Structure 1
Amino acid sequence: MNPTTDATTTAGAARPIRRAVVTGGAGFLGSHLCTELRRREVEVVCLDNFLTGSAANIEHLVGDPGFRLVQCDVTDYVHVPGDVDLVLHFASPASPIDYLKLPIHTLKVGSIGTHHALGLAKDKGARFVLASTSEVYGDPQVHPQPESYWGHVNPVGPRGVYDEAKRFAEALTVAYRAEHGVDTAIVRIFNTFGPRMRPFDGRAIPTFIRQALAGEPLTVAGDGAQTRSVCYVSDLVRGILALAGSGHGGPMNIGNPHELSVLQIARDVIAATGSSSGLEFVERPVDDPMVRRPDTTLATEVLGWTPEVPWTQGLERTVEWFREGAGLPQAGVRAR
């Protein structure tokens, strides 16, 4: 592949994207972005403090001359020598178990970290993409959630540290676009799953897979009627990079508009793992949203993007990765 002709390009920009910075690049989503950018022969600078990221997620890129890893915290001063065409700001604790344990750092990376990442984009004249979240909609009173919905968020609840960090980050991103002319975009990411998820990060799908492979009961919050829309990671990455290359400012929902109940997800995990596990119903967390489904009309109209990997196929791939890569016990799993 010729990087001069095939590198990702930004509409209206003076140059193609040949060099990108990914903050939080050793995390679940960040590492998949790094991998895909290198596949497209974009040079990548990965910034991560490994607070929630993992070196194992990017070990396949180490030694690649087009990949550079810098261990740093974006809440400190951020400096990247040389030209930068794209800044993807994905640094942040993102699972409840992390941001409940690290509330102040979560707020700092959403505010100070976003400020530093935007400053880097401004200094380099780079395109900037903020990884926001469906959590800005809170426990929504509008369903499905379009980008025009302002949300229903409890700022002083336990999830507020993450929700409000991302809402502030969106406001700061818009301010940099208006005041400094930085070429910014905001992507609101809905539930995503796939290889490299941490088995103990507290999210439903990796938790269910870990429990099923260990032959343990799957802990379903409430009665399991609450819904989620889950997108396989390769579809999400494709959508994010399409937004990065579009010149659109967002905010833009990227996620799977197909809705599943948490109970259905648990039952599908049991089937996909061949586990003999049962279900255990536990108390729902405070401010746990009852519904979550993106209106992806904007992404389809502007980017031509729709998810392609079916839920069952993505689940099979994820289960296989957990079997092979996560080193989990597998007692109680039936022969298949």
Structure 2
Amino acid sequence: MSLLNNPTYIEDITYITKQELPWDKLTGKSFLISGATGLIGSCLIDALTALNKEKNLGIKVYAIGRNRDKIAARFDAGTVTPVQQDVNKPFSDEIKSVKADYVLHLASNTHPMQYSTDPIGTIMTNLIGLNNMLEISEGAERFLFASSVEIYGENRGDVERFDESYLGYIDCNTARAGYPEGKRAGEALCQSYISQKGMDIVIPRLSRTYGPTMLQSDTKAISQFIKKGVAAEDIVLKSEGTQLFSYSYVADAVTGLLYVLLLGENGGAYNIADEESDITLRDLAAIIADYAGKKVIFELPDATEAAGYSKATKAILDSAKLKKLGWRAGYDMKKGLTRTIDVLKAINA
């Protein structure tokens, strides 16, 4: 069974399209989206495709990725036009000719193995890639830059939750810092374009996100746990598991993006998270192990893996600002995890 034919995933897409948002703003609009085949980008494009069919909005999506055939095979040709482009390299005439109403920069290295094996690409996608996207978007109605909880760095005990005004602490003198510092510099770059070129830009800050659109290459702890759960294997925990983080199911992350895109204020940053999905790694692993009928085992990471891991032990987000726009999460941790495992089992069968 393919993902797009899976009843549970279809429910997720319907959940997104049933949000009480001003969908009329999207009538006849075009989107240019980097990171189109990633965890969040693919779910977002599936939702935009569904909106087209349900509401006849006439949306057009230009989906950017490094492999045109992969994009074409993944999405509906009636809504989506594949655009082959590495965002870190000079843009082709094809992409420069696209005059989109909404531009979303979702491309990023987003998991530990990429951080440790490609630290240059990790930081440059949030600098050069972002700048390339901004340069071709001056005429757009709105630009969205997907940032991250990691911009807050370590919790040093001075706050319980990070709100959007928290400044954070990051040791920039490490290769692992390329991801959080790249996101921080990317946010500053967005503010520069607002100030200097009068652009309209919003910045959602995503918590750790998971769901059935996750890539098989993803090496985040939660992704590794899920893959073990799908395979009905013991869950391998490579620490004591006391780290406390905020998570978001992908459908909630996408609704959060859409609330920020359609209702957020220019220049505003918004945390996307829900307190019902704040959980320690140990408890997260236990939910998956219990659902799979397996157990949690402990194993030390190798040097390459360890180099990509965050040193943060507590990073939970305050989402009050986003909730003021009307957003609410629809999936708690257990519901999101079990849905993810069920969908992946079905499409891998």
Q: Alignment partner for residue 171 of structure 1, among 170, 185, 188? A: 188
- Please state how far the C-alpha of 1:82 moved relative to its aligned partner: 4.4
- Please state how far the C-alpha of 1:221 moved relative to its aligned partner: 3.1
Q: Which amino acid aligns with 2:75?
A: L
Alignment partner of 1:288 is 2:307: no
User: Match for residue 44 of structure 2?
Assistant: 33
Q: Is the 8 A contact 1:8 1:17 kept in 2?
A: no
Specify the SS of the correspondent of 2:136: helix
Q: Is the 8 A contact 2:34 2:64 kept in 1?
A: yes
- Please state how far the C-alpha of 1:200 moved relative to its aligned partner: 4.0
Cα distance change on mapping 1:137 and 1:326 into 2, 3 Å: farther
User: Match for residue 257 of structure 1?
Assistant: 275
CA distance in 2, matches of 1:246, 1:308: 19
Cα distance change on mapping 1:307 and 1:7 into 2, 3 Å: closer
The CA RMSD measured in Å over matched residues stands at 2.4
Specify the SS of the correspondent of 2:263: coil
Q: Is the 8 A contact 2:38 2:215 kept in 1?
A: no
Query: What are structure 1's unaligned runs of at least 5 residues?
Result: 11-15, 328-336
Q: Alignment partner for residue 285 of structure 2, among 253, 260, 266? A: 266
CA distance in 2, matches of 1:319, 1:105: 30
User: Match for residue 331 of structure 1?
Assistant: none
After TM superposition, list the pairs within 5 Å mapping 1:1-336 onto structure 2: 7=23, 9=25, 18-41=29-52, 42-49=59-66, 55=70, 59-62=73-76, 64-78=77-91, 79-122=95-138, 124-141=139-156, 142-248=159-265, 249-258=267-276, 259-274=278-293, 276-282=294-300, 285=306, 287-301=310-324, 303-326=325-348
Q: Is the 8 A contact 2:152 2:162 kept in 1?
A: yes
CA distance in 1, matches of 2:24, 2:108: 25
Cα distance change on mapping 1:186 and 1:272 into 2, 3 Å: same
CA distance in 2, matches of 1:84, 1:8: 17
CA distance in 2, matches of 1:183, 1:208: 39
Q: Is the 8 A contact 2:34 2:107 kept in 1?
A: yes
CA distance in 1, matches of 2:168, 2:153: 6
Q: Is the 8 A contact 1:103 1:161 kept in 2?
A: yes
Structure having the higher helix fraction is 2
Cα distance change on mapping 1:223 and 1:54 into 2, 3 Å: farther
- Please state how far the C-alpha of 1:297 moved relative to its aligned partner: 0.7
CA distance in 1, matches of 2:264, 2:168: 25
Q: Which amino acid aligns with 1:35?
A: D
Specify the SS of the correspondent of 2:83: strand
- Please state how far the C-alpha of 1:223 moved relative to its aligned partner: 1.3
Cα distance change on mapping 1:309 and 1:214 into 2, 3 Å: closer
* Cα deviation 1:75-129 (Å, max 9, x = unaligned): 223334343110010111111111221111122211111111111221x333100
CA distance in 2, matches of 1:71, 1:98: 21
- Please state how far the C-alpha of 1:54 moved relative to its aligned partner: 9.8
- Please state how far the C-alpha of 1:305 moved relative to its aligned partner: 0.8
- Please state how far the C-alpha of 1:278 moved relative to its aligned partner: 3.5
Q: Which amino acid aligns with 1:300?
A: K
CA distance in 1, matches of 2:233, 2:339: 21
Query: What are structure 2's unaligned runs of at least 5 residues?
Result: 1-16, 53-58
- Please state how far the C-alpha of 1:39 moved relative to its aligned partner: 1.9
User: Match for residue 56 of structure 2?
Assistant: none
CA distance in 2, matches of 1:215, 1:282: 21
CA distance in 2, matches of 1:194, 1:230: 11
Cα distance change on mapping 1:294 and 1:8 into 2, 3 Å: farther
Q: Is the 8 A contact 1:190 1:256 kept in 2?
A: no
CA distance in 2, matches of 1:247, 1:213: 37
CA distance in 2, matches of 1:109, 1:100: 15
